[in-house]
A and B are shown apart, each in its own frame.
Chain A
C-alpha cells in the first residue's frame, strides 16, 4: 500500500518533469474518451433506449398516404377520417389526434407570451400513460364539441410563468383572446405532443379548439391537418394493424371518392418515426468515432511505448538497485492507471459538451420525446476500450522493462542500440496505422462535407442577409373578420417601415425554407383540366405589397402587386419562373388565368400579372417546385410571416414585439429570427452532422500528425550522432533535412497506400448513408492526400530543422 502510494507520488512527479508529454497523452485520451462516450451515449439514447412511456412498443404513428403527392406530408389526417378510423380500428386500444396551434397568452400587466400548444383528443394522455403533477389531465369528457375551454399546462410553464403556484388549477388564462380554465399541470418533464412537434407548453381539448370539429363535410375530409397516434391492443402486430387500417381506408375511398381517392394509411412504430431523421446521422457519426478511437488507441500506445523506451535507463538503475521485475511492472501500470483516471474525468466533461452540441442540432421533435444525455455505461465502455489499449501499451513496456539487465546501463553503445528493434518497428506500425485510418476517415468526412457544402452553397432564390422574419398568428377572435387581418398587416408593416435602418417590409403566408406549405391541385383556363388525383400541385403564397423588393426576388415579366390589388378588385396572381416554364412552355403567361380547383368548375379565375424568380421551399437540396403568389388582401391568411429587410437585423428582432403591440397590445410575436438562421436551420441535422464530422476529421488529422511528429522527433533525436557525422563529412543542410523528412514521408507513404483501400470502403459506406455523395470523387481524394502530406511534412520539419542545427563538432566528442 505504502509502495503504491509512492508509485502514485512518483507518477505525479513524472508529470511535472515532462509536462508536454503527459499533456499530450492526456489531451489524446480526453479526445478519445470524450468523443466515444458522446457517440455511444447518443446511440444509446436514440437507438437503444425505449420511449419514456409504458409499453412503448405498442405505440404507433398513423398517416394518410397519397401516392401522387411529391413529398410525404405531415400532418396528414383529416378530422372525419380520424373519427372513422377511431370508430372502426379494433386493433387499437387507443387512437389520439393532435393539432398544433400557437397561442398568445395574455395576462394583466405583462407582455403577451407566445406559447406552443396542441389540441389533443381524449385518448392522448391515457394512451401515453401520463399523470398530472397537479389537478387532472384532458380526458374523453373534455374532448367534445361545445365542451368547456380548459387547458393543461406543462410543468416547465407552470414553474416559469406561474412560479409553481399550487393554486393554479381553476384559474383562468386568456389564450388568443379567449378565456381558458387551467385544469392541471402535466407530469414533470413531459412536453410531448407528436412525433413531428417540438416541445409544447399547453394542451387543449381538440374538439373544443378545432373549429368545425365533427363536421363531416367533404371540405373537412379534404383538410388533412391532424397527426394521429395510437396504442395497439396487446399482442397486435404492426402488420395486422396495417392490414386493418388499409381495409378501413379502402372503404373510405369507396364512400368518399372525391376526397379519399387513392388515400391510404401507413402505420409505423412511434420510436422509429421519432428517431428516423437522426438515425443515419447517428450511424455515420458512430462510424467516424470508431475510426477516431482507433487512432486514439494507436496514439496512446505509441506515446506510452516511446516513454517506456526513453525510461529504460531509469528502469535499469532501479533494477540494479534490486527492484524485482514485478515491482517495475507495477510502477509502469500505476503510471498508466493515473493517466487514465485523469483522462476519463476530462473525457466525461468533453462528452457532455459534445452530446449537448448534437442534441441542439437534431430535429426538435426528437428532443421533445427523448432526452439525449451522457450515459454512464457509455462512459465506462469507452474507458474500457481506451484502458485496453493503454494496458497493451503499458504492459508491453512493463514486460520489456522486466527484461532490462542491470548491466545494460554500463554498456554505452549497447544500451543505445539495445532498445529492441521490435519495439521501434511496433511504433512505426502504429504510426502507419494512424495515417491509414486518418486518411480513410478524412476521405469519408471530406466526401460528406463536400456534399453538404454544395447544398449549403445553393442560393435559396431570395437574399437572406439582413432579412428578419417575425411570425404572427392572428388566432384571436378579434380577427374573425378578413378586413381586420388586412388592416392589422397594413398598420404593422407601416410601423415597421418607420424603424431606423428598415429598407423594405412585407409579409407572406408561406415562409421559404420555413417548413410550411400551402397550395394544391389547380387548373389553367383554356386547357384541359387534369383528372382528379393526377394533376400537379401549385404552391400558394399570400403576400403583402412590396414583397418581391423585400425578398430581393427579381421580377422577370409583368408587374408586382400594389395596394390596388384588393378584395373586390380583379383577382390576380404572380407566378414563379418554374411555373411559367413548366405550364406555359415558353408562351407568355401574362393575362392567362389560373385557379386552385380540382375536378370542379373554377369559381374564381386569377389573372397572371407577373413572373418572378424561383425560391426554394422544401430545402436547399430539394428541387424548386411551382409556386404562385396572390395578394393577401384577396386571400387573408391569419398565420403570417412579417419579413423585413433592414440594416440592423438584431435590433429589429429585439423590437418587433413592441412594434406589433403598438398596433394590437394583445398580439404576441410567435417567433422572431434572422433569415440567415432559417436557411442554416433548413440544412437541419446535416449541419450538425457536418460539424461533428468536421471535428472528428480535425481530431484524426491532428492525432495522426502528432503521431508522425512524435516518432520522427524521437527517431531523429536517437540519430543526433549520426547526423553530426554526416555533417562532419560534408553533408549539405538540405541533405540532412531530406534525411529526416524521408523517415517521416516513408511512414506517410505507406500509411496513404494502406489507407486508400480503407478509404474506398469508408467512401462506399458514406455514399450509401449521405445523399449526393459520389464515393470516387477524385477531388476529395487528392485534397485529403495533399492535406495529410502537408501536415506530415510540417510535422517532420521541426525535427529536421533541429537536426540541421546539430553542431558538426559533436562528431569529435564521444558524449
Chain B
C-alpha cells in the first residue's frame, strides 16, 4: 500500500478505463452490457452515473469496484493495472481500497451491526484495538453508535443503509461506489443517506454513485450519462 502511494504522481487520475467492454453469455444469447468505455476519475471527485434501466450502470460499477472483470480493455486503479489480477489480489484491493454500497443494503443477517462494520477490517487482519477504533469512528460518522448491538432485521431500511455506509468507509478506502443507494428507501431516508455521502465527499473522499434521481445526480460535481452500454455524456455541473 505504501508502495502504491509512492508511485502515484499528482497528475495521473485515480481511475482510468480504456476501451472496456463487457459481454454476458447466457443460453446462446450474447448481451453487450458495455462497449468501448473510456473514463477517468480523479482523486476527490464526486461522480454520478445516470442512464435508463438496463443501460449498463451496475455492470460499469461492478467493474470499477473489482466485483467483475471486463471482457476486454484496460483498467488502471491508483496507477496500477487491475483488470488482469487474480482473485486473491482483487479481493485484497476490494478490501483495502474500495468501499461499496448496495441498493439492497446487503448487511449480513446473522451478524450484529458492530460485526457487520467490523467484517472488512477483520478480513484485512487488523488488530483488535485498531478495529474497535475504526468501527467506532465509522458508526459515529453515520450516527448509529447507539445501535451497534442490534441485528439488521431490528433496523429500518434507512438505518440499515447507514450501517452499510459505515461498513464501506470503515477501512478508509480510496474510493466509494454506491449503486442506487437510495433505491430501496423513502425520500426522507434517501436524503439522509445522500447527505451522508455529501459529507464524506466534503471530507475528501472520492465518491461514485449510480442514481435514477435527477435531484441526487445534481449533487455530484460531474455526471456521466450511459446509454446502451456507451458513455453518451460527461459533464461537469454548472
Chain A interface (Cβ < 8 Å from any Cβ of B): 417, 721-722, 725-733, 735, 807-809, 811-814
Contacts and interface: CB of A to CB of B under 8 A. Distances in A.
Given A730-B123, A730-B124, A722 B109 contact: yes
Q: In the complex, which of the residues A722, A727, A812 has the most CB atoms of chain B within 10 Å of its own CB atom?
A: A812
Interface in B69-106: 87-88, 91-96, 98, 100, 102-104, 106
Nearest to A735: B123
Contacts of A732: 88, 91-92, 123
B112 interface: no
Contacts of A812: 58, 61-62, 67, 100, 102-103, 179
B68 interface: yes
Nearest to B93: A730
Contact of B104 (A726, A730, A807, A814): A814
B56 interface: no
Nearest to B183: A814
A733 B87 contact: yes
Contacts of A733: 87-88, 91
B67 A730 contact: no
B68 A731 contact: no
Contacts of A811: 67, 100, 102, 106
A727 B68 CA distance: 11
Given A722-B109, A808-B67, A730 B103 contact: no
Contacts of A722: 108-110
A721 B109 CA distance: 11
B92 A730 contact: yes
Contact of A728 (B88, B92, B100): B100
B190 interface: no
13 contacts: A721-B106, A725-B106, A725-B108, A728-B94, A730-B91, A730-B94, A730-B120, A731-B95, A732-B91, A732-B123, A809-B68, A811-B100, A812-B103
A808 B91 CA distance: 9
A463 B101 CA distance: 77
Contacts of B39: none
A307 to B, nearest CB: 24
Q: Please tell me the size bucket of the interface on B.
A: 20 to 34
Contacts of B62: 809, 812
Given A733-B88, A809-B67, A812-B179, A726 B108 contact: yes
A725 B92 CA distance: 14
A807 B91 contact: no
Contacts of A417: 109
B119 interface: yes
B91 A731 contact: yes
Contacts of B58: 812-813
Given A729-B95, A730-B96, 16 more contacts: A417-B109, A725-B108, A726-B123, A728-B65, A728-B106, A729-B94, A729-B123, A730-B92, A730-B98, A731-B123, A732-B88, A732-B92, A733-B91, A809-B67, A812-B100, A813-B58
B88 A726 contact: no
Nearest to A805: B87
A722 B100 CA distance: 15
Contacts of A735: 123
B162 interface: no
A814 B105 CA distance: 10
Interface string B27-52: 00000000000000000000000000
A729 B103 contact: no
Interface-central residue, A730, A735, A811, by most chain B CB under 10 Å? A730
A807 B68 contact: yes
B21 interface: no
A746 to B, nearest CB: 14
Nearest to B180: A812
Contacts of B134: none
B167 interface: yes
The 9 A-B residue pairs with the shortest CB-CB distance in the complex, in nearest-first order: A730-B95, A809-B68, A730-B94, A809-B67, A808-B67, A729-B120, A809-B62, A725-B106, A814-B104
A662 B119 CA distance: 89
Nearest to B61: A812
B106 to A, nearest CB: 5
A729 B87 contact: no
B88 A729 contact: no
Contacts of B167: 729
A699 B198 CA distance: 63
A725 to B, nearest CB: 5
Q: Which of B62, B68, B120, B179 has the most CB of A within 10 A?
A: B62
Interface string B110-129: 10000000011001100000
Contacts of B88: 732-733
Interface string B203-220: 000000000000000000
Contacts of B123: 726, 729-732, 735
A730 to B, nearest CB: 2
Contacts of B102: 811-812
A726 B118 CA distance: 12
A814 B96 contact: no
Nearest to B177: A812
A730 B98 CA distance: 9
Which one of B67, B103, B124 has the greatest number of beta carbons of chain A within 10 Å? Answer: B67
A814 B58 CA distance: 11
Contacts of B68: 807-809
